[in-house]
């Protein structure tokens, strides 16, 4: 029986630039091809010759999985297999990436256009054949449109999770916990050592916080990522039937418009529609200024306060103790959001000042925590190879050791450039 070879091109002991090449029976397929940001400069995965690729499977739209893809469309047009929703959101995010990156990006709108023309759309639970390979796609529960991919060849079955969440959120159904028998699982490890608090409890604390602030005449600013988190927050607010005015700003508006065209990917599409209908979509600066004048809720990117209209709202609102800033996503160290949480200060433009409004952080993660990762891995059969990717150096090895000890499975924590045989 011929072997299957897995080449780690990116995302080995790092979170960013995910890229995995799989070779079997003369076929080569690629899972994701992302970008990583360190010190502002984009870093791409190891090279792969696009003309040798038979198909690319894109797990979801986040740039750490999609941001390198246009590089593969400079001279070739490899088939890009993903959900229609992921393709459209990816286009939006890469357009924005090109726009903000300026001259140093090694591709342009033309390559993005070729990429979009190469999309073969699939849905959850679809199967397809690529020569001797059989491929199936499952909901990954991470962001709207996200998939896990199961690949079968030579009587072997391999799963690539992409980014994954097994719990139900307001917006999305969790990824299925019951998986078929696998010979290898390539699984993300973002929260290798961290457990998330109970989701319902977090929601309740969040709603209580909003109620306290707005009933007291204040405004709650919720800086949130455009894709997924903004809509999740709006759905939570709607599910608890809060009557306060809600304002939606930034790229979250464009992302929401795309999502509204794809009902099938949502857990409760009606809730999403109602949540988005109830919100006031900002259409210009006068709307923005108005939103700062009356008690209510403002949802606006960027999620870590690194640019976007959230910065405008911070300048307007954060000096007033009546108001609040509720951060709802992971804050990368060094970002203004992280600095705000750690030291209670914000750069208001002219100088760095103490923030007077209430500042809180809520864990509405869209990734499995440590507990959920172990739950998935604990169900694997005894000869399944566990390949851990997409995790911070240090933490990811710790998770690996834990799996070996607890489940006696073979664990591989590859570095970029490593090759694994199945
Ligand atoms: Zn992601
Ligand atoms: Zn990711």
Q: Are residues 329 and 379 in the same domain?
A: no
Q: How far is the CA of 372 from the centre of ligand 1 (A)?
A: 16
Say how many Å lie between the CA of residue 209 and the centre of ligand 1: 27
Question: What is the biggest distance separating any 2 CA atoms in the chain, rounded to whole angstroms?
Answer: 70
Q: Residue 165: nearest ligand to its CA?
A: 1
Same domain assignment for residues 93 and 30: yes
Q: Are residues 164 and 216 in the same domain?
A: no
β-strand partners of 37: 42
Distance 332 CA to ligand 2 centre (A): 13
Q: Are residues 30 and 57 in the same domain?
A: yes
Model confidence at 2: pLDDT above 90: no
Q: Which of 337, 361, 385 is the last residue of a domain?
A: 361
pLDDT at 104: 78
187 and 230 assigned to the same domain: no
Domain that holds residue 184: 5-194+366-421
Looking at the structure, do residues 350 and 390 belong to the same domain, yes or no?
no
Q: Check which CATH number belongs to the domain holding 95 and give it.
A: 3.60.15.10
The predicted model gives 207-226 an average pLDDT of: 98
Among all ligands shown, which has an atom nearest to the Cα of 17? 2
Distance from the CA of 329 to the center of ligand 1, in angstroms? Answer: 12
Residue 191 near residue 181 (C-beta atoms within 8 A) = no
Pair 255, 307 in one domain: yes
Residues 17 and 148 reside in one and the same domain: yes
Q: What spacing in Å lies between the alpha carbon of 254 and ligand 2's midpoint?
A: 21
Ligand nearest to the CA of 32: 2
Q: Cα(142) to centroid of ligand 1, in Å? A: 7
Alpha helices in 4-105 (DSSP H): 63-66, 84-101
283-315: pLDDT as tens digits: 999 999 999 999 999 999 999 999 899 999 999
Q: CA–CA separation, 333 vs 188, rounded Å?
A: 20
Taking residues 185-201, report their average pLDDT: 97
pLDDT at 132 exceeding the cut of 90:
yes
Tell which residue, 267, 10, 275, has the closest CA to residue 142.
Answer: 267
Q: Which of 310, 338, 361 is the last residue of a domain?
A: 361
- Here the contacts of 69-72 (C-beta below 8 Å, separation 24 or greater) are 69/33, 69/94, 69/115, 70/94, 70/107, 70/108, 70/111, 70/112, 70/114, 70/115, 71/33, 71/44, 71/106, 71/107, 71/111, 72/30, 72/33, 72/48, 72/115
Query: CATH number, domain at 245?
Result: 3.40.50.10890
Q: Is the pLDDT of residue 205 over 70?
A: yes
pTM over 0.75: yes
Q: What is the 248 CA–ligand 1 centroid distance (Å)?
A: 22
Residue 103: pLDDT band (50, 70, 90) is low
DSSP calls for 131-186: TTEEEEEEE--SSTT-EEEEEEETTEEEEE--S---S--SSSPPPPS-----SEEE
Number of structural domains (the chain) is: 2
Could you count the other beta carbons within 10 Å of the beta carbon of residue 401?
A: 11
Cβ neighbours for 210, distance < 8 A, ≥ 6 positions apart:
220, 237, 242, 244, 297, 324, 326
Q: Ligand 1: distance of its center to the CA of 4 in Å?
A: 26
- Say if residues 309 and 299 touch (Cβ distance below 8 Å): no
Among all ligands shown, which has an atom nearest to the Cα of 188?
A: 2
Predicted confidence (pLDDT) per residue in 328-364, tens digit: 999 988 999 999 999 999 999 989 999 999 999 999 9
Residues 79 and 146 reside in one and the same domain: yes
CA of 52 to the centre of ligand 2 (A): 25
Same domain, 222 and 272: yes
41, pLDDT greater than 90? no
Nearest ligand atom owner, CA of 62: 1
Which residues are within 5 Å of ligand 2 (an ion), measured at CB?
Answer: 64, 163
Distance of CA 357 to the CA centre of its chain: 29
- Among 361, 383, 412, residue at a domain's last position: 361
Distance (Å) from CA 168 to ligand 2 centroid: 19
117 in the same domain as 266: no
Predicted confidence at residue 293, as pLDDT, reads 97
Looking at the fold, whether 356 and 395 belong to one and the same domain comes out as: no
Ligand 2 center–CA 186 separation, angstroms = 13
């Amino acid at each position: 029986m011929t072997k299957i070879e897995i080449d780690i091109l990116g995302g080995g002991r790092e979170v960013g630039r995910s890229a995995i090449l799989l070779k079997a029976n003369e076929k080569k397929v690629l899972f994701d091809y992302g970008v990583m940001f360190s010190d502002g400069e984009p870093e791409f995965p190891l090279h792969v010759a696009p003309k040798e690729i038979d198909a690319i499977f894109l797990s979801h739209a986040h740039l750490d999985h999609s941001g390198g893809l246009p590089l593969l469309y400079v001279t070739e047009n490899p088939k890009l297999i993903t959900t229609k929703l992921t393709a459209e959101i990816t286009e939006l995010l890469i357009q924005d990436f090109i726009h903000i990156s300026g001259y140093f990006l090694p591709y342009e709108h033309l390559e993005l256009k070729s990429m979009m023309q190469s999309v073969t759309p699939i849905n959850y639970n679809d199967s397809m054949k690529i020569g001797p390979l059989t491929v199936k796609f499952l909901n990954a529960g991470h962001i709207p449109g996200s998939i896990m991919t199961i690949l079968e060849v030579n009587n072997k079955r391999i799963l690539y999770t992409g980014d994954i969440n097994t719990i139900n959120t307001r917006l999305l159904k969790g990824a299925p916990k019951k998986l078929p028998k696998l010979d290898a699982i390539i699984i993300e490890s973002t929260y290798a050592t961290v457990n998330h608090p109970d989701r319902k409890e977090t929601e309740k604390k969040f709603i209580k916080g909003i109620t306290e602030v707005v009933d007291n005449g204040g405004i709650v600013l919720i800086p949130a990522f455009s894709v997924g988190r903004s809509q999740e927050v709006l759905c939570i607010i709607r599910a608890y039937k809060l009557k306060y005015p809600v304002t939606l700003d930034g790229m979250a508006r464009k992302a929401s418009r795309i999502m509204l065209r794809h009902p099938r990917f949502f857990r409760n599409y009606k809730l999403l529609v109602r949540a988005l209908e109830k919100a006031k979509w900002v259409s210009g600066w006068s709307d923005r200024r108005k939103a700062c004048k009356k008690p209510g809720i403002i949802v606006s990117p960027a999620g870590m306060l690194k640019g976007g209209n959230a910065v405008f709202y911070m300048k307007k609102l954060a000096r007033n103790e009546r108001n609040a800033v509720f951060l709802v996503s992971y804050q990368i160290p060094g970002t203004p959001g992280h600095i705000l949480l750690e030291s209670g200060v914000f750069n208001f433009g002219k100088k760095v000042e103490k923030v007077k409004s209430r500042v809180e952080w809520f864990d509405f993660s869209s990734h499995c925590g440590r507990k959920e990762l172990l739950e998935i891995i604990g169900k694997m059969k005894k000869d399944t190879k566990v390949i851990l990717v997409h995790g911070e150096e240090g933490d990811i090895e710790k998770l690996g050791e834990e799996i070996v000890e607890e489940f006696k499975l073979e664990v591989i924590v590859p570095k970029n450039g490593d090759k694994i045989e199945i």
